Amino acid sequence: MGSSILDTTTLLQELLSSIYNNSLDQIHDCDGVDLDKLLTNPGELLQLADEKLHVFPFRDVGMGWLRLFTDASIGKALKLVRMAAEPTSGP
């Protein structure tokens, strides 16, 4: 991947670093979630968070799950941008 104004890998790493450096971040309330997947498979975390958002009435959903949904959405969007920017190999 070439150098670009928007380095999505760096943005994702900074997002994950900010989560790990803040032990009070509500995203840590999502027990059993592998937050490293924000880098490798944000779509899986997005699906998990979406399921949690629909299990309970919205007012009863934990803030950690809302945060995970938001961060996984950002991660998935950045991954799609990165994939679109990668050169495709033709025949």
Q: How far apart (Å, rounded) are the C-alpha atoms in residues 23 and 34?
A: 15
Q: How far apart (Å, rounded) are the C-alpha atoms in residues 53 and 42?
A: 16
With H, G, I as helix, E, B as strand and everything else as coil, classify residue 84. Answer: helix
- The mean pLDDT of 70-85, rounded to a whole number, is 88
- 71 and 27 Cβ atoms separated by less than 8 Å: yes
> What is this structure's pTM?
0.80
What are 40-59's pLDDT values in tens digits? 899 999 999 999 999 989 89
The full set of domain ranges for the chain reads 8-18+33-85
- The mean pLDDT of 6-15, rounded to a whole number, is 79
Q: How many CA atoms lie within 13 A of 72 on its CB side?
A: 23
- The mean pLDDT of 21-49, rounded to a whole number, is 92
Report which secondary-structure segment, H or E, holds 57.
Answer: none
Residue 1 clears pLDDT 60, i.e. is over it: no
